[in-house]
Amino acid sequence: MRIGYSFWGFIGPGITDTPDGGRSFRAPLLDALADRHQVVLLQDNRDLHEAGDDLTSRYTFDAGLPNLDALFLEWRWPLPGRNTTACGAPGHTCDLHRQQELLDHYTLAGGLPTIAWDLDRVIGPHDPIRHHPAVTVCEPAARPTPGAHTLRCPVPDTALDTADPAALIGGERPWPLVYVDNQYSRDAEFDRYFAPAARTHRHRVAGKWTDTARWPHVNFTGRVGFLEGQRLHRDALTTVLLSPPRYSAVGHVTQRLGEAVRAGCLPIAPSDIRTIDTLLPAQLLVTNGRQTDETVTHVHTASQDLRAELLADCLTGLDVYRLSRQISTIETLLQQR
């Protein structure tokens, strides 16, 4: 099968000043698809043009409209002042225009089997794209919108099959608590679950946080590159998984879970995230900031053996994120169309 894949972001480390959260799973997903199919990348080669990272010997990019058997879209949506402006305007990005060009040509006119992977859950329940006969909408949620299918941010099988919890949890970890992500729609959750623990534990918050006056005691250190974010998880004992309510209600846990666990950083999570109890052990679930504080203390004072046991439970929970499961889902859905 010849699959056209559209995404707006990077395959490699990319650049620091970008919110692209797909870098931890995109290369493994593309490589796994390419092992079984022909894959053509249809958006601008940002790795080359912005990061100076030439991946053209490994991946095929095409700015035209090549012959395809199926279309896979990491779904883009209107961002006023960025992708809604005229082409060539200052600050314009052409991801949305290009996505519409692909939809018009392959899906709407050609009826090509199309997967719209709504990673940010922005496609409304009544959006016509959900009801087009050639389109399947997927969401990284345990309980997706009616009619949509679950497609999680994948974790490579090899990473799970070869993981040694004791080795992963070891090493110097100077930060008892960290958070690596942006502020977007997480203020209430941050205030409830992270900020209280930050009063008593050495911590660091990395990411784009533009309105922080209400937390003068929190150590905000600004955006970091993708590789530095990974290093920060490897240097930390714990992190907290914070989800906007629209994510929590449907069991949408972002790629940060896999990133943290694979780095040996134990993820603490609000217990009201739907189905989170199937992913993490009860000892890492909390209902308020006091419990977050107590959990960080417990982990900090625990033996290496206990930390390894907790991490082993987290690795078991990641089985539903296994890359081979996501590839099977993609292939099944495309064949059904």
Residue 172: which CATH number? 3.40.50.2000
pLDDT tens figures, 79-100: 999 999 999 999 999 999 999 9
| CA neighbours closer than 13 Å in the CB half-sphere of residue 142 | 18
Tell me, yes or no, whether 178 and 299 share the same domain: yes
pLDDT tens figures, 191-215: 999 999 999 999 999 999 999 999 9
Tell me, yes or no, whether 165 and 300 share the same domain: yes
Quick check: 206 and 229 in contact, CB under 8 A? yes
pTM listed for this prediction: 0.95
pLDDT tens figures, 234-291: 999 999 999 999 999 999 999 999 999 999 999 999 999 999 999 999 999 999 999 9
Tell me, yes or no, whether 316 and 326 share the same domain: no
Helices (H) and strands (E) in the chain — how many of each? 13, 12
Domain membership of residue 86 as a residue range: 2-154+322-336
Q: What are phi and psi of 270, to 5 degrees?
A: -60, 135
Tell me, yes or no, whether 240 and 327 share the same domain: no
Tell me, yes or no, whether 191 and 252 share the same domain: yes
Tell me, yes or no, whether 313 and 329 share the same domain: no
Tell me, yes or no, whether 121 and 178 share the same domain: no
pLDDT tens figures, 17-57: 777 889 999 999 999 999 999 999 999 999 999 999 999 99
Tell me, yes or no, whether 135 and 186 share the same domain: no
Tell me, yes or no, whether 187 and 116 share the same domain: no
Tell me, yes or no, whether 164 and 203 share the same domain: yes
